[in-house]
Amino acid sequence: MDKIFVNNMRFYGYHGVFGEEQKLGQRFNVDAVLSMDLSKAGLTDDLEQTVHYGEVYNAVKEIVEGEPVKLLETLAETISASLLGRFTLIDEVTIKVIKPDPPIPGHYDSVAVEITRGRA
């Protein structure tokens, strides 16, 4: 399966379990791996035969910067469903939602959730 990678998209959102997270907001990074057949696009050089990266970015931005949710899992599910719904050429999507600065004690780079969803 061919893949398109849209890596390290950066947004500011208001997601989290704690009230201050939904009030003050924080950074979120998202990686998307879009699995599909890219052979027609490669042979025809036609944008209609692939997925426009800018439209993927805008779809993810709309969700991450939109209505707050508590869980990264919910954010990842919402992004996956949106991309599969909007872009019919995508067969499977892997979404990784990264929270660089969660309000939990300890020393680490980030916390993240990664899910893979496909068409039924």
**Residue 23 annotated in active site:** no
pLDDT in tens, 26-44: 999 999 999 999 999 999 9
In this structure, the strands spanning 111-118 and 2-13 are: unpaired
- Report residue 64's pLDDT band, with 50, 70 and 90 as the boundaries: very high
Amino acid at 96: K
Report all structural domains of the chain as residue ranges with CATH numbers, in order of start. Answer: 2-118 (3.30.1130.10)
Determine if the pTM surpasses 0.85: yes
Residue pair 11/23 in contact (Cβ under 8 Å)? The answer is: no
pLDDT over 90 (residue 103): no
DSSP one-letter code for 67: S
Alpha-carbon separation of residue 19 from 26, 66, 84 (angstroms): 12, 16, 31
What are 35's two structure tokens? 């699995």
